């Protein structure tokens, strides 16, 4: 089981961060023993990839793994495009995202990611949110990734999504090495449980991401001000998160500590991908990962009807 750093925050997710703050996040991850880093062109219109590449420059390449994604090409915008906050990132809108799962689009996306990262290979390349164009992703995008895998440009391939149905199609209709399941197998909700069972049978590795459901489970006392699915949490979802938090506190642990630990219990899950707003959050997450709550917690939550 590995702990990876989700790098959307390096692209100024929700709020602006300086280059030094972004570098400190990666430094803290490295110092905590984290050697897997997940990024994408989508994150800050390429800013995440550029910052991650700079932060890792000079570190032994054989000691870390990078995953990035394909499906959104970045096209320059003429003039003042405003900001990118509508897509969740506090960066100038110097580019626009263009969906493209064609072979040429995938090849171009990987080439541009390699340039931004300053690398000559990608360890894991994922179709990003293929549910938006599933047929193109499966029929064109995946074969293009398979071609790059055969050439050695990428080491492993798969898909990352919050949609279990499209990931199930990837697993059953293609030959992925891994899938990244975002926010669909968490302490709060587990609609991807059947998918994980299929991955275990097919020998497909699962990376569990979004374990805090975009932030709602990241606080010991969740409230409506915390994001859920990158937006406002419905009242019933907040109520369920609060019930989980109360039960965790009664057991002697915290909601975020339990949220980090929960996906690791599934035999199909080989790693977690967890983001962080600061170096302190990286250290906190790594500490929870290394020292999970007692196994009796899960029976306790089941007894309360919360699992």
Catalytic positions are 43
Q: Report CA Rg, the chain.
A: 19
The candidate with the shortest Cα–Cα distance to 184, out of 161, 202, 168, 204, is 161
CB 64 within 8 A of CB 31: no
- At residue 150, φ and ψ (nearest 5 deg) are -65, -30
CB 30 within 8 A of CB 59: yes
The pairing of beta strand 72-76 with beta strand 95-99: antiparallel
**Cβ neighbours of residue 43 closer than 8 Å, sequence gap 6 or more:** 7, 8, 10, 11, 13, 49, 89
Could you tell me the two tokens for 160?
């990352």
Could you tell me the two tokens for 86?
């509508």
d(CA 27, CA 89): 22
**Cβ neighbours of residue 104 closer than 8 Å, sequence gap 6 or more:** none
3-state secondary structure of 270: strand
d(CA 63, CA 283): 20
């Amino acid at each position: 089981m590995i702990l990876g750093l989700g790098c959307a925050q390096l692209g100024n997710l929700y709020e602006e961060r300086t280059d030094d703050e972004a570098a400190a996040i990666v430094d803290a991850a490295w110092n905590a023993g984290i050697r897997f880093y997940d990024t994408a062109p989508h994150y800050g219109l390429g800013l995440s990839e550029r910052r991650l590449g700079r932060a890792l420059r000079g570190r032994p390449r054989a000691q870390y793994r990078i995953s990035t994604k394909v499906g959104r090409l970045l096209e320059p915008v003429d003039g003042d495009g405003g900001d990118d906050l509508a897509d969740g990132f506090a960066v100038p809108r110097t580019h626009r995202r263009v969906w493209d799962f064609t072979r040429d689009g995938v090849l171009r996306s990987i080439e541009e990611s390699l340039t931004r990262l300053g690398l000559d290979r990608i360890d894991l390349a994922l179709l990003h949110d293929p549910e938006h164009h599933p047929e193109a992703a499966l029929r064109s995008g995946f074969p293009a990734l398979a071609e790059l895998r055969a050439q050695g440009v990428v080491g492993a391939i798969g898909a990352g999504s919050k949609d279990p149905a499209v990931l199930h199609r990837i697993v059953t209709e293609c030959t992925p090495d891994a899938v990244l399941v975002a926010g669909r197998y968490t302490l709060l909700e587990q609609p991807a449980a059947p998918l994980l069972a299929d991955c275990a049978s097919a020998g497909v590795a699962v990376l569990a991401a979004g374990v805090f459901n975009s932030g709602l489970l990241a606080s010991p006392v969740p409230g409506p001000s915390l994001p859920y699915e990158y937006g406002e949490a419905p009242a019933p979802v907040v109520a369920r998160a609060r019930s989980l938090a109360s039960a965790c506190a009664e057991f002697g642990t915290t909601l975020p500590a339990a949220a980090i630990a929960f996906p690791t219990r599934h035999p199909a899950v080989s790693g977690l991908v967890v983001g962080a707003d600061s170096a302190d959050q990286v250290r906190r997450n790594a500490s929870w990962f290394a020292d999970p709550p007692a196994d009796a917690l899960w029976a306790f939550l089941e007894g309360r009807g919360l699992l």
